Structure 1
Amino acid sequence: MIQSIHRSAPRDYLARMTAEKPLRVEIAKRFDRDFFDGDRANGYGGYRYDGRWKPVAQQLLRHYNLTEGARVLDVGCGKGFLLRDLREIRPDLDVRGLDVSLYAVDHAEEAVRDAVFVHDARRRLPFDDGAFDLVVSINTLHNLYLYEIVEALREVARVGRQAYIVVESYRNEAEKFNLMCWNLTGECFFTPDEWRWVFSTAGYAGDYEFIFFE
């Protein structure tokens, strides 16, 4: 359900693979204004709501049968665009979101600002076992080191009755090259089989999807 959003953004892979990239990586990993709303070379180049997450929200609601009172947690929620759409479609949901970025949380969508907070996905989640009907984490976990990913996945599995994870991956050398050119914040670059091994090692049995840089 995520690949259509990924394909909607044009990317000049080679333009990012310059002598300046190490500096751009350092800037991006601060996850502050420069990453979200600064120069495109440092990250998103303006991370603004445009409604593109609404189809994903609709699919999540249908697939996971999220009805009145269902609780949803977004690990790595950014400015809360997905949470906004979930709440807009189903106002009776109990949505929560966390992100490592103070800037993103401070500039979260007004409609969900009450539901988001700063928290590092590498740390234990401040919720009871099985507290959520669905936990999602989209394009976040590959920004951690391997041992941190395993612990984060265990936490997702612990607090969520259902889960949906999206991570970046590659199936061939061309996609690997594009991924290495484009990514600024990633620490782990794995094939689908390697990711499946990580999921198994962590005891994660939820759903997952891969982003490919074709």
Structure 2
Amino acid sequence: MAYIDLLSSVHKATQRDYLARVNDPEFPKAKAAQIAKQWAYDYWDGDRRINYGGYKYMPGRWAPVANQMIEYYGLKAGDSVLDIGCGKGFQMVELMKALPGLKVRGLDISTYALEHAHPDVKDLIDLGSADNLPYADKEFDLVFSINTFHNLHNQELEKALRGIERVGKRKYICVESYRNEVEKANLLYWQVTCEQFNTPEDWDWWFKMSGYTGDHSFIYFD
């Protein structure tokens, strides 16, 4: 298991007003979270005060992550890759563009996301949950999940970690975490779907307890 930072540059490109989000008079935090957890229009393309505020494909935005992933894991044409929590499939598209011949598959819990997925990968995305992967043992050369596993409750998280270990020859996940009280408060203020509020040490406990041997990285709200 290794710590591989593939996401911080993309994450830090977004400016966040934590207090404005938690104190919004029309969409106070509890209301925004309740709406967001429906994983429908409001979560993806509704008001920014609820979540993304319009999750649209921007060519090249996720390309650096795709290129680093291909290089680090030595992926080649013909290899198979699964994206758990793929949303509209934008990372899948960038992987296919960066490495023609790569076999990509996606899984997401949101019917809305699948219906509005990028046309190049719409037929390659399965509707399902991270804690119940409908794939064979070691079916994929690489399985990765970006910003998904922290949305799972404890009983779901253990199943998901054991599942990604089972279906992937190599694994990588990125989750939200915090190292101090400032980052903890910012995470609490900003998130709308997170169920896991864990320090890096807590996450390490989860990995070991669940038998997860893949790589990982953390996103911090500093």
For 1:89, the equivalent position in structure 2 comes to: 98
1:150 equivalenced with 2:155 (yes/no): no
Question: Equivalents in 2 of 1:57, 1:46: separation in Å?
Answer: 22
Map Cα deviations across residues 60-99 of structure 1 (whole Å, 9 max, x no partner). Answer: 1011111121000000000001000001111201100010
Question: Equivalents in 2 of 1:85, 1:77: separation in Å?
Answer: 12
Q: Is the 8 A contact 2:108 2:127 kept in 1?
A: yes
AA paired with 1:182?
W
Secondary structure of the residue that 2:216 maps to in structure 1? strand
Question: Equivalents in 2 of 1:113, 1:148: separation in Å?
Answer: 26
- Write the mapping of 1:29-178 to structure 2, written as runs, cut at 5 A: 29-50=37-58, 51-123=60-132, 125-178=133-186
For 2:21, the equivalent position in structure 1 comes to: 16
Question: Equivalents in 2 of 1:158, 1:36: separation in Å?
Answer: 30
Map Cα deviations across residues 93-138 of structure 1 (whole Å, 9 max, x no partner). Answer: 1100010000001111111112112111122x11110000000000
Q: Is the 8 A contact 2:85 2:106 kept in 1?
A: yes
Map Cα deviations across residues 25-64 of structure 1 (whole Å, 9 max, x no partner). Answer: 1000001010000001111001011121100000010111
Unaligned runs of 5+ in 2: 1-5
Unaligned runs of 5+ in 1: none
Secondary structure of the residue that 1:8 maps to in structure 2? coil
User: RCO higher in 1 or 2 (8 Å CA, sep ≥ 6)?
Assistant: 2
For 1:209, the equivalent position in structure 2 comes to: 217
Secondary structure of the residue that 1:210 maps to in structure 2? strand
CA RMSD, Structure 1 to Structure 2 (Å): 0.8
Question: Equivalents in 1 of 2:155, 2:215: separation in Å?
Answer: 20
Shift of 1:175: 0.3
For 2:3, the equivalent position in structure 1 comes to: none
Secondary structure of the residue that 2:176 maps to in structure 1? strand
TM-score, normalised to structure 1, is: 0.98
Count the aligned residue pairs: 213
Q: Is the 8 A contact 2:131 2:163 kept in 1?
A: no
Shift of 1:17: 1.3
Question: Equivalents in 1 of 2:131, 2:32: separation in Å?
Answer: 23
